[in-house]
Amino acid sequence: MSETIIQAREVNMTFTTRKGSLTALEAFDLEVKPGEVVCIVGASGCGKSTFLNIMAGFLRPSSGQVLLGGQPINGIEPRCGMIFQDYALFPWMTVLDNIGFGPRLKGVSRAQRLEQARRWISLVGLEGFEYAYPGELSGGMQQRVALSRALANDPQVLLCDEPFAALDAMTRQILQQELLRVVAETGKTVLFITHSIDEALILSDRLVVMSARPGRVKVIYDNDLQRPRSMDVQITDRFLELKREVWDLVQEEVMGSMTALQPR
Ligand SMILES: Nc1ncnc2c1ncn2[C@@H]1O[C@H](COP(=O)(O)OP(=O)(O)O)[C@@H](O)[C@H]1O
Ligand SMILES: [Mg+2]
């Protein structure tokens, strides 16, 4: 049996709302190996963030199980680090203090925190901005800080919820390459949600297509595109072929969910 770090088995998530109950995930199954980059794509509202929030321990599934390193997730999960679309940095803290925040909570000494934070800053190319505040940085730079802050806690798994969605196309491409480099250097396991099929193809070792709500795994692709996934790979026949295939699957789900909403 091959080693797995994440095992999601038969995960169901039903929310109770004022209008009744809403099933976001149904029989969601996924296994991830250590060091894999798994991208998840699917129609808006299919339960992608819900699954990530379960992984992070922000939500408890209604039924089913998620194991991380064979252990169930109970409460906010220190073994996972998360980055969000809106960066979620502390605006009143400098870059150094944002990155050192998690280690500070763990009781790491100030000198050691600063030393570690400087290492992350150099890894993501933010030298010279150690004492800047988030409001003084561009979106791409803020997301680099958020990535460093997540990694400074040395998580086993990096959870990414559409982190590059708000960035301009060029910055986004640069950050994709940087993420790949940082992940290769640190060996982290990554679960990355995106609604961009291009992004999923560039980043992933495997690409999961989810069904429309209630979300479940529809198809998993082994992404055989050559590495490095620079601009060049994006204009290969194989890239376009995979993009077409994934797009057809996603579109099928989007159209299906829209028909379901039409009045009868
Ligand atoms: N806390 C919540 N309470 C009620 N409904 C929720 C909650 N969180 C998410 N949902 C619903 O669950 C479904 C899936 O949401 P989400 O996981 O955010 O989708 P995605 O990230 O794929 O766009 C949506 O219909 C959303 O409205
Ligand atoms: Mg979402």
95 has a pLDDT exceeding 90: yes
Question: 62 alpha carbon to ligand 1 midpoint, in Å?
Answer: 14
- Average pLDDT score, the chain: 92
3/189 Cα distance (integer angstroms): 13
DSSP 73-114: --SS-TTEEEEETT----TTS-HHHHHTHHHHHTT--HHHHH
CA-CA-CA-CA dihedral for 149, 24, 6, 62, to nearest 10: 110
Calculate mean pLDDT across residues 131-153: 93
* pLDDT at site 71: 94
Distance CA 207, CA 154 (A): 24
Answer for the pair 146, 84: CB distance below 8 angstroms, yes or no.
yes
User: 117, 109 in Cβ contact below 8 A?
Assistant: no
pLDDT above 60 for 1: no
pLDDT in tens, 164-202: 999 999 889 989 998 998 899 889 999 999 989 999 999
Ligand 1 proximity of 16 Cβ (cutoff 6 Å)? no
**All domains of the chain in start order, with CATH:** 6-79+156-261 (3.40.50.300), 88-154 (no CATH)
* pLDDT at position 217 over 60: yes
pLDDT at 263: 61
The pTM assigned to this predicted structure is 0.93
Mutation to probe ligand 1, out of 44, 50, 60, 261 (largest number of atoms < 8 A from CB): 50
Check pocket membership of 144 for ligand 1, CB cut-off 6 A.
no
Q: Is the CB of 15 under 6 A from ligand 1?
A: yes
pLDDT of the residue at 256: 78
Quick one: pLDDT at residue 227? Answer: 85
- Euclidean distance between CA atoms 201 and 205, whole angstroms: 8
pLDDT, tens digit (0-9, with 9 covering 90-100), for 27-52: 999 999 999 999 999 999 999 999 99
C-beta separation of 167 from 175 below 8 A: yes
